[in-house]
Structure 1
Amino acid sequence: MLDFSHDHFTLFGLPRSYSLDGAALETAYRALQSLYHPDRAAALADADKRLALQAATRVNEAFQTLKSPLNRARYLLQLAGVDTKEETNTSMPAAFLMQQMEWREAVMDARAAQDMAALDQLAGELAGETRVLEHALARELDTRHDYAAAALIVRKLRFLAKLDQEIGDAVEVLLD
């Protein structure tokens, strides 16, 4: 049966690292999913069925956490005992905040002008900035082990994820 005391990385037989082999994660997930799928426990006693369901749920939750770069970073910081304070610490470098305001204004302008090309361009810029921050996050978590710097990057990525959602919402409005 699944050992619920293992962290997500150990569960999938992967090194505890931000930089993750996505194919290895996917392969390990499929193997565990097959092994602990609740249908395999259909003929078992109720207690065993519940355990199988808990194991399948744990495997799915762990996979979703590790699959997402932002969630993986949060999880690594959690394992290191670091609270990202995303809800309470909104202090950011001034240049980052200015860029956020400019992007938000550009989203509102593009939405008002019904300019899909401008929204696509903003989404591309945002994706590029996200990649830059994810590379920095890998460096801080895997190489430098600077968890305070990593927590700041996680908070920045959270801002970008919200902005990306705003762009997606604007695109949906224009497509409707």
Structure 2
Amino acid sequence: MLSLNRLRIALSARAALHPNRPVCAPKAGSRPAHSLPNRDAWHRKVTAKAPGEERGLTWCTGPGLRTFCTSRVQQGCWNCWNCNLPLGQTPAFFCRSCKVVQPPEEGASYFHIMDCDYTFTLDTQKLQTRYLQLQRSLHPDNFSQKSEKEQEYSESQSALVNKAYKTLRKPLSRGLYMLELEGMGIEEGTDSGADAEFLMELMEINEALDEAQTLEEANKIAQDTKGKLADLTEQTDAALRKGELQTAKALLAQMKYQANIEEKVKEKLSQLM
């Protein structure tokens, strides 16, 4: 096996022969990929969810090269599809050199795309600002005179930004997505996380809503539901901060029921107006 110094010399020689090929050399003191520690998922800013990214690794790509390396994307492992120069950041919506739109980064989390902290209580104002900025630059109308590939990438990027924004905008969908990133989900059509007392309470609320004859009665249910959702949101945030994923899952299941009631209340109010 080559020593570290000899390996560096070999890599340097290859770089001289192939200046356009990215080289990922090992750093002194670096450990094998399998020994890199995982970070606390609930107290960090999410980056791309590419394979191995959780361990501080990223794909290095180039002509004849596709492997894991410990260097970051910012160090030039990902190149522009058009000019083949390093993109320099991730996610890269446009090449800094030739300015062409880039394809969506496979596996990137919505938090990373929207430049948000990986937290349940994210800054929704910042989220909206980021959304408007991206859509102004990525909207397909801006690329009607561009190449077919650029039109395709702009449509894909714009659709992805839309989906990311809609997912992160509301606490319920945001929390469910965070559980999904952690390999947990709430199955559709089940009463997972809801006890008999809670389900009985929901039945009573639905009956009261069906029987409501005035705006005042419907508004009373609306305010009660809003208060319960706010309380569940606070409890879910606390659970996620502590890393109590099962508790968060149960709370989010209750939020789904309350959100359904909220939608029914809106329909009822529109009928009574």
Question: Normalization by structure 2: what TM-score?
Answer: 0.59
Give structure 1 stretches of 5+ with no counterpart: none
CA drift of 1:148 comes to 1.2
Q: Write the deviation string for residues 135-165 of structure 1: whole angstroms up to 9, x where unpaired.
A: 1111112x11111111111111111111122
Paired residues in the alignment total 171
| Unaligned stretches of 5+ residues in structure 2 | 1-101
Task: Report the Cα offset of residue 118 of structure 1.
Answer: 0.7
Q: Which has the larger radius of gyration?
A: 2
What amino acid sits opposite 1:155 in the alignment? A
Within-5 A mapping of 1:62-77: 62-77=164-179
| Residue 52 in structure 1 maps to residue 151 in structure 2 | no
Moved over 6 A (4+): none
TM-score, normalising length: structure 1: 0.90
- The answer on 1:101 being equivalent to 2:203 is yes
Give 2:218's match in structure 1, choosing from 119, 131, 138. 119
Does residue 152 of structure 1 match 2:152?
A: no
1:98-120, Cα deviation, whole Å (9 max, x unpaired): 3212211211221xxx2210100
Question: Which has the bigger relative contact order, CA under 8 A and spacing at least 6?
Answer: 1
The question of whether the paired residues in 2 share the 8 Å contact of 1:69 and 1:134 is answered with yes
Conserved in 1, the CA contact under 8 Å of 2:222 and 2:265? yes
Distance in 1, Cα, partners of 2:112 & 2:190:
31
* Deviations, residues 74-103 of structure 1 (Å, cap 9, x unaligned): 110000000212423445123322321221
Rounded Cα–Cα distance in structure 2 between residues aligned with 1:134 and 1:44:
45
- Aligned-pair RMSD on alpha carbons? 1.5
- Distance in structure 2 (CA, Å) of the matches to 1:13 and 1:86: 30
Contact 1:41 1:52 in 2 (8 A): yes
User: Which residue, out of 143, 155, 161, partners 2:259?
Assistant: 161
Amino acid at match of 1:79: L
Aligned residues of 1:73 and 1:154 also touching (Cα < 8 A): yes
Greater share of residues in helix: 1
Specify the alignment match of 1:132 in structure 2: 231
Identity of aligned residues (%): 25
Paired residues of 1:86 and 1:155 also in contact (CA < 8 A)? no
Which 10-residue stretch deviates more, 15-24 or 34-43? 34-43
Task: After TM superposition, give the deviation of residue 17 of structure 1 in Å.
Answer: 1.0
What secondary structure, in the 3-state scheme, does the structure 2 residue paired with 1:97 have? helix
